[in-house]
Chain A
Amino acid sequence: MSGAPLLPQWAGFLVGLLLLSGAAVTLVGAIGLLRFRSFYERVHAPTLGSTIGMALILLASLLSVSTGQGRPVVHELLVALFVTLTTPIALVLLARAALHRDRAEGSLRVPPERDEDGQPQSRPESRPLSRE
Chain B
Amino acid sequence: MSAPAHVPVLALAILLSQLLLGLAMACALWRIIRGPRAQDRVLALDSLYTTAMLLLLSYGVATARTLYFEVALGIGLLGFTGTAALAKFLMRGEVIE
Contact = CB atoms under 8 A, between A and B. Distances in A.
Contacts of A87: 46, 50, 80
Contacts of A19: 13-14, 17, 58, 61
A82 B17 contact: no
A13 B91 contact: no
B54 A33 contact: no
Interface residues on B, range: 35 or more
Interface string B52-91: 0110011011111010010011001100100110111011
B9 A49 contact: no
A2 B6 contact: yes
Question: For the complex, would chain A's binding face be called helix, strand, loop or mixed by DSSP majority?
Answer: helix
Interface residues of A, number: 61
A127 to B, nearest CB: 17
A94 B3 contact: no
A94 B43 contact: yes
Given A31-B27, A33-B43, A75-B69, A16 B21 contact: no
B44 A94 contact: no
Given A29-B24, A33-B43, A43-B43, A5 B87 contact: no
Contact of B7 (A7, A31, A96): A7
Interface of B: 1-18, 20-21, 23-25, 27-28, 30-31, 37, 39-40, 42-44, 46-47, 50-51, 53-54, 57-58, 60-64, 66, 69, 72-73, 76-77, 80, 83-84, 86-88, 90-91
Given A3-B14, A60-B61, A97-B91, 18 more contacts: A2-B8, A2-B11, A4-B7, A5-B10, A5-B62, A5-B63, A9-B7, A20-B20, A26-B21, A45-B47, A46-B50, A61-B61, A61-B69, A75-B69, A79-B53, A91-B43, A93-B88, A97-B90
